[in-house]
Chains A and B, each alone.
Chain A
């Protein structure tokens, strides 16, 4: 089995689940006893099936530091590099070097040139120019400093077009992934943040799409479901204050995969020689489960994910130390003042909020709720999606509330690999309902793969991770974070702000550099 792109399958599954949710879940929830028991704190080790058919990992870098530069000089003083022409005598070399008060040391290994010591107070560029002008010198130059251009060694990084698209490698030179002092709350379907075995009761259910009844799936009864932490998200120390508002527990297990994928873009471990990279790979992640996945519904979760839970989740996150809140969630329909108030509260408490702009452009482009608050809350942004061609993705909503654009993937440009690659569950072992009632079986949430997904859900964690970097860099006010993001955004579409891209594509490197005195 390979790492099959699953965009179509996910969309299909999501649509079915939502339709079913809208019509049948309440009835079945009343019939099926609901429980979620943690029957074991441990579970078999997670299985990562995602890299086995890919390129061998590149050799890890041994030096990713960027030493401080004294006086910000681009070169090292006290020596220059000189390559004499073949046949130049030792006497001629000495005579040439004497003109610049230089002395040649023994050549270092693998170096067909001389390292010439000069007076540390001398300008090495000027010395090199003088030597370079001599006929016996092939070239001479100062010893310019070379800086790391952070390219993660994660073996699947080369398939993550989304980071080069926003110049993240140079942004990571400035701020390599923030630090654990910044907590990003992911309000989503949960996160694969720990291992354990949960016992659920899976009752019978029937798909129901519109007025069409689908197949009936048999009750599985009490089943023990294994969970594991996503290997590329890191160990328990990555996660703080987990909370599940769907099951009202402190174990926000992800029974969907969406939240795990989103968390990966926020802060997947990076440069660890495994899998893929994330935006702010040193932050702590706070998993806050406020929406139900398909299996939550099959297991008759007491909550299904509503405005109030979202609002509670927001307040919980900020009251427990989150500096950034990622909301790759939303809905259409009437406004949600309870969520508006919660977001305003979060911003007033110093948390920046990134919200998905919506995926319904081709389905009427209805106003995306939650995202629409961006126009009147400074410190919150609504995020549209672009594909690898840098153009608005076909699904990405447009509207006055779209403030920024980020890579969200577009399968119509570049096929499935035009999505955003992150680690999440192996959906073959999660979406067993796609196999039909005969092969329907209990899911597993301890087997992982790397999947391309697309959506403004995928774009939003780029902005949340970016906000974490800015917070770490010193821009601590949510309103200022929004302002700096807008100021440095790369304008797309018609000049100036527009409804498709907002102020443009995020520009982390330019934003992190900020302002100099003259440039």
Chain B
């Protein structure tokens, strides 16, 4: 027999069983508090800049938070996440990039407040959508830098997201969502920035992530 091997088949069976036997989403008759952790991949809007310095336009994001679900199918969540990657400083000239071998580490840590609406809450699959505001801490440190040559700054951005939650068990759920964020005028104004070279200033981007939810 060709096709799936043992491990994927087992995963499919477990998933099907979870769909069949999991409790339906809790009827929203009172306020519930849930916690979640997530892992995702962010694709940055400043693609050329991130690609030049960090060697890629996307990277892993790890986060978590708490969420309050109200009886009116409205949810409010507070989420913190972190992206961190080390690349190297560069020089750009005539569309050619020269890597200088000087390590530079970029850390982006947003705290986001999200409000949204959960559709079809009686099903095991609960689509949801939301929007919110985020406060993004941006750190950039380079080897050989003086203190004033490193960056620690905070920017405000906005985002919208949508996704679907799947109840796996009574207290456990998972979700997949996509978020689009904009953090305008965050980078690209310093003469020593490749983002200025490429005329890119937005620190936002698109993030796809998977969440593990604990709570009803």
Using CB atoms and an 8 Å cutoff, list the residues of chain A in contact with chain B: 66, 68-69, 71-74, 147, 170, 173-174, 473-477, 479-480, 483-484, 510, 512-519
Contact = CB atoms under 8 A, between A and B. Distances in A.
B11 interface: no
B86 to A, nearest CB: 7
B190 interface: yes
Contacts of A147: 144
B91 A517 contact: no
Given A474-B101, A475-B98, A512-B100, A519 B93 contact: no
Nearest to A509: B144
A477 B89 contact: no
Nearest to A378: B94
Given A475-B91, A480-B96, A517 B193 contact: yes
Interface stretch (B24-32, B49-57, B164-172, B204-212): B49-57
A446 B103 CA distance: 45
B141 A515 contact: no
Interface string B136-147: 001011111100
Nearest to A476: B98
Interface residues of B, number: 44
Interface in B97-133: 98-106
25 contacts: A68-B143, A71-B105, A170-B144, A174-B102, A174-B144, A474-B98, A479-B94, A480-B93, A480-B96, A480-B98, A483-B94, A484-B93, A513-B142, A514-B91, A514-B100, A514-B102, A516-B53, A516-B104, A517-B195, A518-B140, A518-B153, A518-B186, A518-B193, A518-B195, A519-B140
A56 B50 CA distance: 51
B197 interface: yes
A513 B195 contact: no
B142 A173 contact: no
Contacts of A514: 89-91, 98, 100, 102, 192
B197 A516 contact: no
A142 to B, nearest CB: 14
A476 B102 CA distance: 16
Interface of B: 46, 49-50, 52-54, 86-87, 89-94, 96, 98-106, 138, 140-145, 149-151, 153, 186-188, 190, 192-195, 197
Given A515-B91, A515-B194, A473 B143 contact: no
A74 B149 CA distance: 13
A173 B144 contact: yes
A403 to B, nearest CB: 16
- Sorted nearest first, the 8 A-B pairs with minimum C-beta distance are A72-B141, A480-B93, A515-B194, A518-B187, A514-B91, A517-B53, A514-B89, A514-B100
A519 B193 contact: yes
A517 B54 contact: yes
B143 A516 contact: no
B190 A519 contact: yes
B100 A474 contact: yes
Nearest to A475: B98
Given A480-B91, A519-B140, A513 B100 contact: yes
Contacts of A473: 100-101
A72 B107 CA distance: 11
A66 B145 CA distance: 13
Nearest to B189: A518
B91 A484 contact: yes
A251 B54 CA distance: 49
Contact of A483 (B93, B99, B140): B93
Given A515-B92, A516-B140, A517-B193, 18 more contacts: A66-B143, A69-B143, A72-B86, A72-B105, A174-B102, A474-B91, A474-B101, A475-B91, A477-B98, A484-B91, A513-B192, A514-B90, A516-B89, A516-B142, A516-B193, A517-B87, A517-B194, A518-B188
A28 B52 CA distance: 63
Nearest to B91: A514
Contacts of A74: 141
Nearest to A517: B53
A477 B194 contact: no
A518 B101 contact: no
Given A71-B105, A474-B98, A480-B98, A513 B144 contact: yes
Nearest to A510: B192
A518 B151 contact: yes
A512 to B, nearest CB: 7
Contacts of B138: 518
Given A473-B101, A475-B100, A479-B94, A515 B89 contact: yes
A69 B102 CA distance: 11
A392 B40 CA distance: 57
A477 B192 contact: no
Contact of A477 (B93, B99, B150): B93
A365 B192 CA distance: 36
A174 B195 CA distance: 23
A68 B144 CA distance: 10
A510 to B, nearest CB: 8
A138 B195 CA distance: 44
Contact of B142 (A72, A170, A477, A483): A72
Nearest to B193: A518
B162 to A, nearest CB: 29
Contacts of B49: 517
B143 A72 contact: yes
B144 to A, nearest CB: 5
Nearest to A69: B143
A243 B99 CA distance: 34
A73 B86 CA distance: 12
A517 B104 contact: yes
A317 to B, nearest CB: 23
B144 A517 contact: no
Contacts of A477: 93, 96, 98
Given A477-B98, A479-B93, A517 B103 contact: no
B105 A513 contact: no
Contact of B192 (A170, A174, A512, A516): A516
A513 B89 CA distance: 7
